[in-house]
Amino acid sequence: MATGMATAPATKAGERARLARRLVLASLITAAIATPPSASRAEDKPGLFVNLTTDDVWAASKAVFFAHQRILKAGYKPVTIWLNIRAVYLADKRRAPARLNPETPDIHSMLRAFIADGGTVVACMACSRVAGLSKDDLIEGVVMGSPDVVLPALMGPNIRTLTW
């Protein structure tokens, strides 16, 4: 009889230990499920480098809208739009800014809003020269590109590229 009595308190202690382990395990699982993955944190989101090569208003509007409204505003940073080839004309303040249709903002307004929200617009220096443009010809906020400006934006850590 003494044997049976000795095991009863030991069994209750074992059950309490198992219950405590289960509670700890359940808490850890709940915390893991409730905590968003690190990839969803803004600081872990990759940046985007948009290589825009055309002054076609349909393609350019799509590229600027996507970079601004879908990427930058979703917390991905840095976001850079590189205007090269004919796209440098999009930032020419001497030209009337084109718009996709009467209901949409013009391309200058789209670029300015993108810059105001923290995006970077870089005009290719060599392409600007060929187009007859200088820094003074570009809308406010557009940076004249040089290797010191373009390479970090393009080759920085955790950068994705997209071409229009």
Quick: pLDDT tens for 82-94: 999 999 999 999 9
Both 28 and 109 in a single domain?
Answer: no
pLDDT given for residue 40 in this prediction? 45
**101-145 pLDDT, tens digit each:** 899 999 999 999 999 999 999 999 999 999 999 999 999 999 999
State how far the Cα of 139 lies from the Cα of 112, in Å rounded to an integer.
Answer: 8
State how far the Cα of 80 lies from the Cα of 116, in Å rounded to an integer.
Answer: 13
CB-side neighbour CA atoms (13 Å) of 131: 25
Both 90 and 124 in a single domain?
Answer: yes
**34-63 pLDDT, tens digit each:** 545 444 455 689 999 999 999 999 999 999
pLDDT given for residue 17 in this prediction? 75
Element at 129 (helix H, strand E): helix 125-130
Both 14 and 71 in a single domain?
Answer: no
Both 27 and 45 in a single domain?
Answer: no
Q: Which CB contacts under 8 angstroms, 24+ apart, belong to 41-45? A: 42/75, 42/77, 45/74, 45/75, 45/76, 45/77
pLDDT given for residue 14 in this prediction? 75
Both 30 and 58 in a single domain?
Answer: no
Both 22 and 45 in a single domain?
Answer: no
CATH code of the domain containing 52: 3.40.1260.10
pTM summary value: 0.74
Mean pLDDT of 58-69: 97
Both 24 and 58 in a single domain?
Answer: no
Parent domain of 26: 2-35
Both 79 and 17 in a single domain?
Answer: no
* Strand residues in 26-74 grouped as ranges (E): 47-52
